[in-house]
Amino acid sequence: MLVHFYRFLEKFKSSPGRKNRTLIICTIISFFLNLFIWLLIFFRLRPIVRLLPADQAFIPLHYNTYLGVDKFGDWLNIFILPGLGLLILLVNTLFAVLIYNRKDMLSYFLVITSLFSQLLFLIATIFIILINI
């Protein structure tokens, strides 16, 4: 099992995808967008929730234009968005670097999809914070 892991690491280290400028730039931008989402939640939503009593720490998590707020939950559930974004970022970047030799267009698609998903998670986080203010 450990031998397979070391082979995987060597394959990752020797991939020319690690030197591709497009892959690197998209991954860095995606990482900083994800970091911004984490910080936005921590510094904008956490102070609002700390003012609430412990039994009232439920916040609106989803807004629908037809019905209004249709999902409430514990305020910690908002961390699902950046956590899922980080998972998408890591998996897509890993696959993009590993398959760059064979399918370079698919690698570009994976990192651009990761960037696009981070933008969507940022917009969703901003709207959730605006609902709670």
Q: What is the pLDDT of residues 73-125, one digit of tens each?
A: 887 888 899 999 999 999 999 888 888 888 889 999 999 999 999 999 999 99
Residues 6+ apart with CB under 8 A from 5: none
| Side chain identity, residue 42 | F
Q: What is the per-residue pLDDT for 83?
A: 96
Q: Confirm if 39 and 129 have CB atoms less than 8 A apart.
A: no
Full-model pTM:
0.82
